[in-house]
Chains A and B, each alone.
Chain A
Amino acid sequence: LAKTTQPISMDSYEGQEVNITCSHNNIATNDYITWYQQFPSQGPRFIIQGYKTKVTNEVASLFIPADRKSSTLSLPRVSLSDTAVYYCLVGDNYGGATNKLIFGTGTLLAVQP
């Protein structure tokens, strides 16, 4: 079964670039990798999604190596409002009819002034 691992926490300062990595050793070959952001007592919200190489949108970039066993979320020039927990989500190819969804352990990003 897939196991997705993330650093428990990271600290940063305003204006810096932050990179959060998620390791997923048994990712399904046909599923995308998705990252979510969660503030306290709220539901997670979508940040970015990709299948391979690099994807960029208005808030983040996502880097995925060729073997797809990991992914790195990059947040450019973070601000205090980026303080949140970040989760990766992958599908696990465990042999069932549909892929099993596996959320990462979550990374608490604390941005300081």
Chain B
Amino acid sequence: DGGITQSPKYLFRKEGQNVTLSCEQNLNHDAMYWYRQDPGQGLRLIYYSQIVNDFQKGDIAEGYSVSREKKESFPLTVTSAQKNPTAFYLCASSFGQGATYEQYFGPGTRLTVT
């Protein structure tokens, strides 16, 4: 059953701790993305990767880091440097990079930092 998965669905952390969000896809997609969504707001791009071992900053990369060691996986680390980390995080993948390619989204991870 092909798709894109994110885990966990809900995550709670104390301020000052780094936390890593998982994103896995078995769609054989080259491109993967991380978005952040705040209540009542649209999607903002954090990082994207067009190919293994390569990734680019999006609009709001400060305080976040990523890796792309495998085609299937694109984990996002929310570091303690991120000022307001509480948000809904969405991972997506597509065959290629650009609006032309349909993005398949995961179910999201809701991160709460207190």
A interface residue numbers (CB < 8 A to B): 28, 30-34, 36, 41-46, 49, 87, 89-91, 98-99, 101, 103-106
Contacts and interface: CB of A to CB of B under 8 A. Distances in A.
B98 A91 contact: yes
B102 A49 contact: yes
A99 B99 contact: yes
Given A42-B107, A43-B90, A106 B98 contact: no
Nearest to A44: B105
B108 interface: yes
B100 interface: yes
Interface string B17-47: 0000000000000000101000001111100
Nearest to B110: A41
A31 B43 contact: no
Contacts of A101: 33, 45, 48, 98-99
Interface residues of B, number: 25
A103 to B, nearest CB: 5
Nearest to A45: B105
Contact of A31 (B45, B98, B103, B110): B98
Contacts of B99: 28, 31-34, 89-91, 99, 101
A43 B94 CA distance: 14
Given A32-B99, A44-B105, 19 more contacts: A28-B99, A34-B100, A34-B103, A36-B103, A41-B108, A42-B107, A43-B105, A43-B107, A44-B90, A45-B105, A46-B102, A91-B99, A98-B50, A98-B98, A101-B48, A101-B98, A103-B42, A105-B42, A106-B42
B62 to A, nearest CB: 17
